[in-house]
């Protein structure tokens, strides 16, 4: 632009000789230029307002809206909020209008500018005057040389750019199939105790070298004993060096992470009250408590759910990744279904109310974000069983129990595989898969063995056998594939043959049991509610191998690791090991 002004200054002497058209053209060019600059400046200022100032105002408005809800006297902010909101809306409309009109104005100004400049150029035409030719030959040679050099330079620049781009190697997806999996493989899961009753919910330890006996009085065989801040009936879970527990009372819900070797409490996390559990107290039975469901982990994150419907997920360093409230579950005895995980999905069996209300559902949440991935309605009332995911004929099945259906579906998408109508009552013992059968229990009434290779309603076709003696109401069954053991709350231990349901033996243990039995090698571990651990042989005859006293009440099922057993008493967490 200054070029134009300089020329017009230069030519003012000449301009007096040449036509007034030129002056007009130059003048309109200047006018157009100044006008365009002003409009451009205003448009930029307008744009900055939209991009920078308005979002800041909107954020402030959002914060104030939240304050209104959270603070008891928030109403005083209302006039301010409304004023700010109106201001933002007005500003948005006017600024958009200005943008549009300003655009046209700028275009107009530029047109005036360019027409002026063009006309000025036309009126100021000079005759062509090429300079002296110079040494044509030398110039030719020189130009060819420089051109070659320039192309070579271009080549180098492109080559360098290409090489720099290749330095930061990204992921080669042809080979990225198995690397960096976000969920553990079957082997890893098998070696740990990642959910209620371990892998597949079977209660079977992969390690056979677990201790046989210990003494709570002398401390012999007990590696460490640590208090757990808040009580809960959930069983300990463990993954490599860490043991996870949750505990809760009416006011708070907490997750604990203990070091498996030393017992040190590594971290403690709060699962806060979110949304629906605000203000409304949730009532649970004293026996059940607020933290009955056992946690679940996949080696990267640990999730816990509570009777208030709060579910929280922590990473292994104790940072809370996400939490949600799924709504208070209507459960007669208090919500107690433990969590399960399949790949990246956290599976929640949310049975509540009566079947006609159609409130019960099976939910799958994304382990990364807590976002629901799929959910399926369940035609059942409230139940206290936990879901299991087991691999049957190379395909995973998610098996659940609720009155009156045993349902198996695909854990990836929730699509149903089969269902059988064979259980009733207040179902609390969870199903297991052993010896080729899915076992489900109707408390006090029957044990049902179902063949899991059906599709659709298999009630009439796939129930292999039914047993009716010594059926428990709380403890889950245990099987080593040949024999299946049932333990009632009153202490009756019954052993059936898996193949045909024939009873092998039964024994009155003369103790009360809430914890489910577990298996390590050929030994069955029973933990009474007074803290007495009885180890018997998993054989066709009853044979007691050891009996140890913890000295504390126990309602949770133990967790097994390499050479260790972890038991949660009413107040403490015990690590059994290092002795025997």
Partner 1 sequence: MLVGILRYGGLGLLGAAGVYLLKKNPKPRTVWQIDPQVCVACGNCANYCVLEESAVKCTHAFAVCGYCELCSGCFRPDAKELNTGAENQLCPTGAIKRAYVEDPYYEYVIDESLCNGCGKCVKGCNAFGNGSLFLQVRHDRCVNCNECSIAAACPSGAFKRVSAEKPYLLKETHA
Partner 2 sequence: MIRFGDAIILGIFSLLVLCASASGIERFPPPDFESGYELPSPTTPSPREDIYQYVDVLVLAGALAVSSYLVLRKRSRRPIFALMVFSLVYFGFWRKGCVCSIGAIQNISLSIFDSGYAVGLVTVAFFLLPLVFTLFFGRTFCAAVCPLGAIQDVVLFKPISVPGWAESSLRLFAYLYLGLAVLFAATGSAFVICRYDPFVSFFRLSGNLNLLILGACLLLVGVFVGRPYCRFVCPYGVILRQLSRVSKWRVSITPDECIKCRLCEDSCPFGAIEKPTVEWPRRNLAKSKSRLALMILLLPVLTAAGGWLASTVGDPLSRMHATVRLADRIYLEQAGQAEGTTDASSAFRATGRELKELYAEAASIQSEFNIGGWAVGGFVGLVIGSKLIRHSLWRRRADYQPDRAGCVACGRCFEYCPREHVRLNKAKEANT
Residues making contact with partner 1 (CB under 8 A): 58, 61, 64-65, 68-69, 77-78, 81-82, 84-86, 88-89, 92, 96, 99-100, 275
- The closest of 366, 362, 320, 314 to 337, measured between CA atoms, is 362
Tokens of 64: 């104030």
Among 125-133, 219-227, 383-391, 540-548, the segment contacting partner 2 (CB under 8 A)? 125-133
Residue 280 near which of partner 1, partner 2, none (CB within 5-8 Å, type-dependent): partner 2
Asked if residue 412 binds partner 2 (CB under 8 A), the reply is yes
| 3-class secondary structure, 503 | strand
Tell me which of partner 1, partner 2, none is bound by residue 34, counting a contact when its beta carbon lies within the kind-specific cut-off of 5 to 8 angstroms: none
- Contact track, partner 2, 26-65, x by CB under 8 A: ---------------------x---x--------------
Sequence-ordered list of residues with C-beta below 8 angstroms from that of 380, at least 6 positions apart, any chain: 351, 355, 360, 402, 403, 404, 405
**From the list partner 2, partner 1, none, partner contacted by residue 166 (C-beta under 5 to 8 A by kind):** partner 2
Task: Report the residue number, 88 or 373, with the smaller CB distance to partner 2.
Answer: 373
Stretch that binds partner 2, among 141-149, 224-232, 234-242, 382-390 (CB under 8 A): 141-149
* 505: partner contacted, choices partner 2, partner 1, none (Cβ within 5-8 A by kind): none
359 binds, among partner 2, partner 1, none (CB under 5 to 8 A by kind): partner 2
Q: Which of residues 449-468 bind partner 2 (CB under 8 A)?
A: none
Shortest reach from residue 65's CB to partner 1, in Å:
5
Q: What is the distance in angstroms between the CA of the first residue and the CA of the last residue of the chain?
A: 94
CA distance 362 to 372: 11
CB atoms within 10 A of CB 188: 16
Residue 473 · residue 487 · CB < 8 Å: no
Instruction: For 3-36, give the DSSP string.
Output: HHHHHHHHHHHHHTTS-HHHHHHHHHHHHHHHHH
Instruction: Give whichever of 64 and 546 is closer to partner 1, judged by the CB atom.
Output: 64
Alpha carbons 256 and 267: distance in angstroms, whole number: 6
DSSP conformation class of 68: H
Helices 78-123 and 20-48 pack at an angle, to 10 degrees, of 160
Q: CB-wise, 52 or 510, nearer to partner 2?
A: 52
277: helix, coil or strand? helix
Which residue, 74 or 454, is less far from partner 1 as judged by CB? 74
Shortest CB 429 distance to partner 2, Å: 26
281 binding partner (options partner 1, partner 2, none; Cβ < 5 to 8 Å by kind): none
232 contact, one of partner 2, partner 1, none, CB 5-8 Å limit per kind: none
- Residue 324 site contact among partner 1, partner 2, none (CB < 5 to 8 Å, cut-off depends on kind): partner 2
Q: Which residues are CB-contacts of 533 (< 8 A; sequence separation ≥ 6)?
A: 213, 214, 525, 526, 527, 546, 547, 548, 549, 550, 558, 567
- Binding-site size, partner 2 (CB under 8 A): 78
Residue 272 binding target from partner 2, partner 1, none, CB below 5 to 8 Å by type: none
Task: List, in order, residues 6 or more apart from 410 with CB less than 8 Å away.
Answer: 395, 396, 397, 398, 416, 417
Task: Identify what 72 binds: partner 1, partner 2, none; CB under 5 to 8 Å per kind.
Answer: none
* Per-residue mark of binding to partner 2, 554-573 (x: CB under 8 A): --------------------
Question: From the centroid of its chain, how far is CA 78?
Answer: 36
Indicate the DSSP class of residue 79. Answer: H
Give the contact letters, 341-380, x = binds to partner 2 (CB under 8 A), - = no: ---x-----x--------x-x-x--x-xx-xxxxx-----
Whether residue 487 is preceded by a cis peptide bond, meaning omega within 30 degrees of 0, is no
- The interface partner of residue 61, options being partner 1, partner 2, none and the CB cut-off 5 to 8 Å by kind, is partner 1
β-strand 416-421 against 456-457: which pairing, if any?
A: parallel
Identified binder of partner 2 from the candidate list 12, 53, 146, 354, rule CB under 8 A: 146
CB of 102 to partner 1, least distance (A): 10
Question: Which of 78, 540 has the CB closer to partner 1?
Answer: 78
> How is residue 505 written in tokens?
């033996």
Q: What's 193's DSSP letter?
A: B
Q: Which of 242, 324, 378, 462 binds partner 2 (CB under 8 A)?
A: 324
Selected binder of partner 2 within 53, 155, 186, 540 (CB under 8 A): 155
Rounded to whole angstroms, the Cα distance separating 465 from 475 reads 20
What character string, x for contact with partner 2 (CB under 8 A) and - otherwise, covers 158-197?
A: xx--xx-xx-xxxxxxx-xx-xxxx---------------
Residues written for the chain: 580
């Amino acid at each position: 632009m200054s070029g134009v002004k300089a020329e017009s200054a230069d030519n003012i002497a000449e301009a007096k000789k040449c036509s007034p058209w030129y002056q007009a053209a130059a003048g309109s060019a200047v006018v157009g230029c100044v006008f365009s600059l002003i409009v451009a400046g205003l448009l930029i200022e307008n744009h900055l307002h939209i991009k920078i100032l308005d979002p800041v105002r909107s954020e402030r408005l959002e914060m104030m809206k939240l304050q209104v809800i959270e603070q008891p006297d928030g109403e005083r902010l209302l006039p301010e909020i409304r004023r700010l909101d109106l201001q933002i809306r007005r500003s948005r409309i006017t600024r958009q209008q200005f943008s549009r009109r300003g655009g046209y104005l700028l275009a107009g100004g530029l047109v005036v500018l360019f027409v002026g400049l063009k006309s000025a150029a036309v009126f100021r035409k000079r005759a062509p005057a090429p300079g002296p030719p110079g040494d044509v030959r030398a110039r030719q040679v020189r130009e060819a040389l420089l051109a070659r050099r320039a192309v070579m330079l271009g080549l180098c620049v492109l080559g360098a750019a290409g090489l720099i781009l290749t330095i930061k190697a990204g992921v080669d997806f042809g080979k990225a199939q198995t690397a960096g999996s976000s969920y553990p493989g079957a082997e890893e899961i098998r070696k740990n105790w990642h959910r209620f009753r371990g892998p597949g919910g079977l209660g079977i330890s992969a390690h056979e070298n677990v201790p046989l006996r210990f003494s709570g009085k002398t401390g012999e065989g007990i590696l460490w004993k640590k208090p757990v801040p808040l009580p809960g009936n959930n069983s300990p879970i463990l993954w490599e060096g860490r043991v996870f527990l949750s505990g809760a009372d009416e006011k708070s819900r907490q997750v604990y992470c203990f070091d498996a070797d030393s017992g040190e409490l590594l971290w403690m996390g709060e699962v806060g009250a979110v949304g629906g559990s605000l203000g409304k107290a949730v009532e649970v039975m004293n026996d059940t408590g607020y933290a009955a469901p056992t946690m679940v982990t996949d080696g990267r994150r640990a999730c816990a759910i509570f009777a208030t419907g709060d579910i929280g997920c922590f990473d292994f360093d104790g940072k809370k990744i996400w939490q949600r409230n799924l709504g208070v579950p209507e459960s007669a005895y208090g919500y107690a279904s433990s969590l399960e995980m399949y790949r990246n999905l956290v599976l929640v069996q949310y049975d509540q109310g009566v079947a006609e209300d159609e409130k019960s559902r099976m939910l799958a949440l994304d382990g990364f974000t807590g976002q629901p991935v799929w959910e399926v309605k369940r035609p059942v009332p409230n139940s206290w069983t936990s879901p299991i995911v087991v691999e049957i004929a190379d395909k995973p099945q998610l098996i659940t129990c609720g009155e009156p259906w045993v349902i198996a579906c695909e854990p990836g998408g929730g699509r149903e595989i089969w269902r059988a109508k064979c259980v009733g009552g207040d179902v609390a013992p969870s199903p297991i898969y052993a010896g080729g059968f899915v076992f489900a229990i109707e408390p006090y009434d029957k044990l049902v063995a179902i063949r899991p290779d059906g599709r659709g309603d298999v009630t009439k076709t796939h129930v292999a056998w039914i047993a009716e003696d010594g059926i428990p109401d709380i403890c889950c069954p245990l099987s080593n594939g040949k024999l299946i053991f049932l333990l009632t709350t009153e202490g009756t231990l019954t052993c059936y043959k898996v193949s045909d349901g024939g009873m092998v033996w039964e024994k009155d243990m003369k103790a009360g049991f809430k914890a489910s039995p577990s298996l390590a090698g050929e030994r069955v571990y029973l933990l009474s509610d007074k803290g007495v651990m009885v180890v018997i042989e998993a054989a066709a005859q009853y044979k007691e191998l050891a009996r140890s006293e913890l000295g504390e009440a126990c309602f949770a099922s133990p967790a097994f690791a390499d050479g260790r057993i972890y038991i949660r008493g009413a107040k403490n967490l015990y690590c059994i090991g290092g002795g025997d």
